[in-house]
Amino acid sequence: MQNVSNVSVNATSNKSLSVIIKVCVVVPLFCIFSFCIVVMLHIFASHRQFLDTSRYILFASMLINDTLQVMFSVLLFLLVMAQVKFALGLCFPLLFISTATFQNTPFILATMSLERYVAIFYPLQRPAAWCSDRIWIIILVLWLLSCMFPMTEYSIGQRDPALNTFYTPVLCRPATVNPSPIQALFRTAVNVLSFAVVAVIIILTYVRILLETQKMRQDKVSVSKATHTVLLHGFQLLLCMLAFTSPITEALIVLSADWSREDVAFFNFFCFVLIPRFLSPLIYGFRDQSLRSYISKTIVCCSSKVECSVRGQL
């Protein structure tokens, strides 16, 4: 009996240590990511020339979208790690925002690629919808489209009549809220179709701009930059699509290693959900030369202010 109790205590302590390690890995990365995003959004709000360019407005919307996605994903992760249960009525909004922002990212990437296409082929007669003062209409349409899919998914599922939407405490996970096989099939079909359409748009845009580069004798620099930008959008889309590899990696890990189910889920969440979301906006933001110069100036200015305040306190 004493041995059984010792084994139980050791298992509990090991599980608690594993949870602490996972939290200590995720939270600092999220803080670094949030700091970089806040710096870039501050630059956009402080300098008018960024708000007068459609490309930067779309990029700012992508920053806000990915920040919401990472924020709610980390929040759900921490709630599940802490085994916090609350009513389904509170769980629905968290999963809804997480799903909608996940769907919105490829749509924004396709729109940014099309914006580069319009800027190259219609530099003087740009359509009104792609101007900086009207681009918010396209952004609003993307948000409505991305919100439509989770609403449809939640509406087609059959709920357990024993679960009360407002009072039944559950772990806030997609498997709990969307247990129906019809919902899983709908979610898979929507994800595959959305990412396939976006991939086709990015590939066609890249090929079209690449062919135009071969024809144009003047302004090859801007066309070449646009080609590299569209190629970067394709890489960002590839990073987003890593989330779909979780069933494959889960099967491989289970076959090759003796990991618990929670450890496998954390590995997939960290490597194929968080890391791509961390890298995607940061790569695009730090790649832009004008934005990178403002970022370096802002960081230097913040560090000097912090140093001055520390010296003043000393």
**What is the CB neighbour count within 10 angstroms for residue 309?**
10
Domain boundaries, the chain: 2-313
> What does the alpha-carbon distance between residue 188 and residue 205 come to, in Å, rounded to a whole number?
26
> Can you list the residues of the chain whose pLDDT is less than 70?
1-15, 157-166, 213-214, 216-220, 222-223, 245-258, 302-314
> What does the alpha-carbon distance between residue 160 and residue 313 come to, in Å, rounded to a whole number?
60
> What does the alpha-carbon distance between residue 136 and residue 118 come to, in Å, rounded to a whole number?
16
* Sign of the dihedral through C-alpha 67, 71, 74, 76: negative
- The DSSP annotation for 105-166 comes to HHHHHHHHHHHHHHHHH-SSS--GGGSTTTHHHHHHHHHHHHHHHHHHHHHHSPPPTTS-TT
- pTM score: 0.84
Q: Where are the beta strands (DSSP E) in 18-78?
A: none
User: Token pair 């690629």 is at which residue?
Assistant: 113
> What does the alpha-carbon distance between residue 77 and residue 54 come to, in Å, rounded to a whole number?
34
Token couple for 238: 């590839």
Q: Can you give the pLDDT at residue 104? A: 92
The predicted-structure confidence for 229-244, as pLDDT tens digits, reads as follows 788 878 887 877 777 7
Q: How far is CA 199 from CA 59, 215, 230, 238, 256, in A?
A: 18, 25, 11, 9, 32
| SS3 category, 229 | helix
CATH of domain 2-313: 1.20.1070.10
- The DSSP annotation for 238-257 comes to HHHHGGGGHHHHHHHHHHHS
